[in-house]
C-alpha cells in the first residue's frame, strides 16, 4: 500500500510520463509515456514512436534506455510509470526485466494486459507490485483528445483503425 509520500512521488513521476506522452503526440504517435525510476531518480523516459515500428511502445523504449544506462538487463530495483495500462507485449517485457513496481495511469479495457483481459502477470515468472489509476483522468484525457482529433481531422487509415479499437474505463 502506498503512503502519502509515495502518492506524491507517484504523481511526480506520472507527470513526467505524461510529458513524454505529449512529446509522442507531437510526433503524431499515440500519446503514451513511460519513465523508469531507480532510487527516486528518473533514469530513462520515452514516449511511443510512430506506427512504422509496432514494438516502439513507450514501455519498451524506456526499459531499453534503463538497461543501457545501468548496463544490465535486470531492473529489479527499478519502478516504471506508464500513462496507460500496458499491453501484453509491454507487460511481458516488464516481467522479463524484473521491474519491481509498475504504476500506470489510465486503464485500457480493450488491450490492457495487467488488470484487464489477459492479466499477463498471473502467468509470468516475475510479477511486479502493481498500482493502477495514478493521475488516471489526465492520462485518459490525453489519449481521448488525441483520438478525437484523429476522428474529426485527418483520416489516416492506421489511426482510424486504432481509434475505433481504443476504449478507456470510465
User: Per DSSP, what are the bridge partners of residue 102?
Assistant: 80, 130
- Cα separation, 128 vs 164, in Å, equals 31
User: Cα separation of 131 and 144, whole Å?
Assistant: 22
CA distance 30 to 58: 10
Nearest to 125 by CA among 74, 55, 68: 74
168 contacts: CB under 8 Å, gap ≥ 6: 106, 107, 108, 109, 140, 143, 144
Given the residues 59, 136, 154, 165, select the one marked as catalytic. Answer: 59
State yes or no: is 154 an active-site residue.
no
Catalogue the active-site residues.
59
Amino acid at each position: 500500500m502506498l503512503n502519502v509520500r509515495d502518492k506524491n512521488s507517484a504523481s511526480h513521476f506520472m507527470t513526467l510520463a505524461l510529458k513524454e506522452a505529449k512529446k509522442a503526440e507531437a510526433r503524431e504517435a499515440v500519446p503514451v509515456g513511460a519513465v523508469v525510476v531507480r532510487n527516486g531518480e528518473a533514469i530513462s523516459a520515452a514516449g511511443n514512436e510512430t506506427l512504422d515500428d509496432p514494438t516502439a511502445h513507450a514501455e519498451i523504449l524506456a526499459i531499453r534506455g534503463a538497461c543501457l544506462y545501468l548496463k544490465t538487463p535486470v531492473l529489479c530495483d527499478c519502478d516504471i510509470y506508464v500513462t496507460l495500462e500496458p499491453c501484453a507485449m509491454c507487460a511481458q517485457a516488464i516481467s522479463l526485466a524484473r521491474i519491481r513496481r509498475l504504476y500506470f495511469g489510465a486503464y485500457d479495457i480493450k488491450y490492457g494486459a495487467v488488470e484487464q483481459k489477459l492479466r499477463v502477470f498471473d502467468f509470468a515468472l516475475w510479477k511486479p507490485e502493481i498500482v493502477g489509476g495514478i493521475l488516471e483522468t489526465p492520462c485518459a484525457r490525453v489519449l481521448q483528445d488525441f483520438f478525437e482529433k484523429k476522428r474529426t481531422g485527418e483520416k489516416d487509415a492506421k489511426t482510424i483503425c486504432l481509434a475505433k479499437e481504443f476504449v478507456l474505463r470510465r
